[in-house]
């Protein structure tokens, strides 16, 4: 038996034993509040500012609004992020790259569309080259309206995302 086969066999055996004995439910019941609290209070958005909304996003993380006090720490690598924050108009040329960034993010992940351009195409909604909304190719969890939305609106949107995570109770120890 190779090491790979042994690992597969032992993983399947462990899953079977845990599910049959009821340990999974007990561990989930104990750890679920901890994981859920950790998930919603340490969100790492990928700052993907395409247009003028990026200035408001930067202002929200500056000293006056201090998004980090709510647990929002901006990162530059999709592999370190769990929130894709898109603001500005998305063009057809940019769409595959944005989709690739979304797919590179680890689970669980959420998407926030910030500003009218990301939500519906903005003033260029009828242009041949502008995608009419981020939700046409990526599932969006939170919409933050405005042109551009104020930093307070962005923080409110992220707090709504925290409420959504709390309601979903993501983060079970041994997910099905």
Least confident interval from 23-32, 57-66, 140-149: 23-32
Q: How does pLDDT run across 32-52, given as a tens digit for each residue?
A: 778 778 777 788 888 777 888
pLDDT higher than threshold 50 for residue 17: yes
- For the segment 161-171, the average pLDDT, to the nearest whole number, is 78
List Cβ neighbours of 70 (8 Å cut-off, separation of 6 or more). Answer: 41, 155, 158, 159, 162
What pLDDT does 27 receive? 75
CA 108 to chain CA centroid, Å, is: 7
Domains located in the chain, CATH noted: 9-38 (no CATH), 43-168 (3.40.50.12280)
Cβ pair 128, 91 in contact under 8 A: no
Question: In the structure, what pLDDT confidence band is assigned to residue 170 with cuts at 50, 70 and 90?
Answer: low
Q: How does pLDDT run across 121-160, given as a tens digit for each residue?
A: 888 888 889 988 888 999 999 999 988 888 888 889 888 9
Sign of CA dihedral 78, 84, 86, 92: positive
Q: Which structure tokens are listed for 101?
A: 């960034």
Question: In the structure, what pLDDT confidence band is assigned to residue 80 with cuts at 50, 70 and 90?
Answer: confident
pTM of the model: 0.76
Least confident interval from 8-12, 28-32, 151-155: 28-32
Cβ pair 82, 106 in contact under 8 A: yes
- For the segment 3-32, the average pLDDT, to the nearest whole number, is 79
What pLDDT does 144 receive? 92
For helices 151-168 and 53-61, angle between their N-to-C axes, nearest 10 degrees: 70
Q: Is 170 helix (H, G, I), strand (E, B) or coil?
A: coil
What pLDDT does 174 receive? 47
Task: Please give the Cα distance from 69 to 164 (Å, whole number).
Answer: 19
Query: Among 158, 42, 140, which Cα is nearest to 98's?
Result: 140
């Amino acid at each position: 038996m190779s090491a790979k086969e042994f690992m597969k066999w032992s993983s399947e055996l462990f899953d079977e034993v845990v599910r049959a004995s009821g340990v999974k439910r007990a561990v989930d019941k104990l750890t679920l509040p901890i994981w859920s609290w950790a998930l919603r209070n340490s969100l790492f958005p990928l700052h993907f500012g395409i247009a003028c909304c990026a200035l408001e996003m930067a202002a929200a993380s500056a000293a006056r609004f201090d998004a980090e006090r709510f647990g929002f720490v901006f990162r530059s690598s999709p592999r370190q992020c769990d929130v894709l924050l898109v603001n500005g108009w998305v063009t057809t040329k940019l769409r595959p790259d944005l989709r690739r960034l979304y797919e590179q993010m680890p689970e669980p992940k959420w998407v926030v569309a910030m500003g009218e351009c990301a939500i519906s195409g903005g003033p260029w909604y009828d242009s041949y080259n502008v995608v009419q909304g981020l939700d046409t190719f990526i599932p969006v969890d939170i919409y933050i309206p405005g042109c551009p939305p104020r930093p307070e609106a962005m923080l409110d949107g992220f707090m709504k995302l925290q409420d959504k995570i709390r309601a979903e109770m993501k983060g079970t120890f041994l997910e099905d």
